[in-house]
């Protein structure tokens, strides 16, 4: 059984104190840092680019779990790799050739993630599951933090977990979107082993990050 990991989304952090926020996450038991990159085109929001990731990476040894919600994504993969991304997750809809983009990430010695939006079905990636390290299931429509969890996506988590076991594959199953203390258990029971959470980690219990991470892990 895979270890349960928490990947806090810095989309919900205090952007004026990002360096300190990452230090707090590191001290509070976070397993990695989830970085949401949005271009205002693939999704209706703009966030951060390679210079910010590079600056943040200088002061931490934590794994940067970078989710690229940008299109076309292929030409930006190397820039995010050079900036310090350890895991690079892309959307099938954002590249003209998913296989080529997967190979590109691998050539850069980074872990490969593929993200599925709520309406995207698993058949899009079935032929690539033996080539990737992570599947990110979106449980909200990407673009903004603080949205309500969509429980119907758990059927995809269950399906992927069964394939993983039947074919003896080793990819992680990550889930992102509206994860809180109430639904974390359902996501883990369905087969996810990495929980992305922003609002719950940074805002619950008066911002007690350590307590919130521990509560999510204990579900």
Q: Which of 36, 39, 65, 172 is catalytic?
A: 36
User: Tokens 């003896």 identify what position?
Assistant: 168
Q: Which of 31, 39, 65, 176 is catalytic?
A: 176
Q: Which of 90, 118, 104 is nearest to 175 (CA)?
A: 118
If residue 38 lies in a helix (H) or strand (E), which one and from where to where?
Answer: strand 33-38
Torsion on CA atoms 184, 190, 196, 199, rounded to nearest 10: -30
The CB-side HSE value for 111 (13 A sphere, CA atoms) comes to: 16
CB 202 within 8 A of CB 213: no
Angstrom distance (rounded) from CA 150 to CA 117: 11
The CB-side HSE value for 6 (13 A sphere, CA atoms) comes to: 28
31 is catalytic: no
Q: Bridge partners of 194?
A: 5, 174
Angstrom distance (rounded) from CA 136 to CA 42: 17
176 is catalytic: yes
Active site positions, annotated: 36, 176
């Amino acid at each position: 059984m895979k270890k349960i990991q928490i990947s806090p989304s810095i989309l919900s952090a205090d952007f004026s104190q990002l360096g300190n926020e990452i230090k707090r996450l590191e001290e509070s038991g976070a397993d990695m840092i989830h970085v949401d990159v949005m271009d205002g085109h693939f999704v209706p929001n703009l966030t951060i680019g390679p210079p910010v990731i590079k600056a943040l990476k200088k002061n931490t040894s934590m794994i940067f779990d970078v989710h690229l919600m940008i299109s076309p994504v292929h030409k930006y993969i190397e820039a995010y790799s050079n900036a310090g991304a350890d895991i690079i997750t892309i959307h099938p809809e954002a590249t003209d050739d998913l296989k080529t983009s997967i190979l590109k990430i691998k050539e850069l010695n980074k872990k490969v993630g593929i993200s599925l939006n709520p309406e995207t079905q698993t058949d899009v990636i079935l032929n690539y599951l033996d080539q990737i390290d992570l599947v990110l299931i979106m449980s909200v429509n990407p673009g903004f933090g603080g949205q309500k969890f969509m429980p119907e996506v758990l059927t995809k988590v269950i399906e992927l977990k069964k394939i993983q076991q039947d074919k003896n594959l080793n990819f992680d199953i990550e889930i992102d979107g509206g994860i809180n203390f109430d639904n974390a258990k359902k996501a883990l029971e369905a087969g996810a082993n990495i929980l992305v959470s922003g609002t719950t980690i940074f805002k619950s219990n008066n911002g007690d990050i350590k307590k919130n991470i521990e509560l999510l892990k204990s579900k």
